[in-house]
Amino acid sequence: MMGTLGYLIFFGIVFWIMHRGGGCCGGDHGSNSTKQNNQGEENKKSASEIIEMVCDPVCGLHIKKSNAIPRTIKGGKYYFCSAECANDFIEDSAQIIIN
């Protein structure tokens, strides 16, 4: 009689664990795969939000390329933080050619 009661208790506990979403590894397998999918989507968003930075050749300031002032000087593309730095660079490069 005790053997049958032991089996009933054992299977009752197993049923209760499985019903709560446990299992062999204590699982919640459904929410794990959802978390992994959400992390993959976040990684995709992060990759698309990469910000390209450029360095102002006059003052050395690093700025977003989208906020920089671009100038093509002697066939080279340069990015500046302000119009003042761009003008200083153009003046300095003109003096180098004259001297």
Report the alpha-carbon distance of residue 71 to residue 85 in Å, rounded: 11
Neighbouring C-beta atoms of residue 42, cutoff 10 Å: 10
Domain limits, the chain: 53-98
CATH of 53-98, one of 2.115.10, 3.40.1130, 1.10.3720, 2.30.170: 2.30.170
The answer to whether residue 99 scores a pLDDT higher than 50 is: no
Helices (H) and strands (E) in the chain, counts: 3, 4
Structure tokens, 53? 């930075």
What predicted TM-score, i.e. pTM, was given to this entire model? Answer: 0.48
- Residues 91, 92, 96, 99: is their CA dihedral positive or negative? positive
Structural contact between residues 47 and 41, judged by C-beta atoms closer than 8 angstroms = no
Reported as a single tens digit per residue, the pLDDT across 33-92 is: 555 556 666 556 566 678 999 999 999 999 999 999 999 988 899 999 999 999 999 888
Q: Find the mean pLDDT for residues 11-33.
A: 65
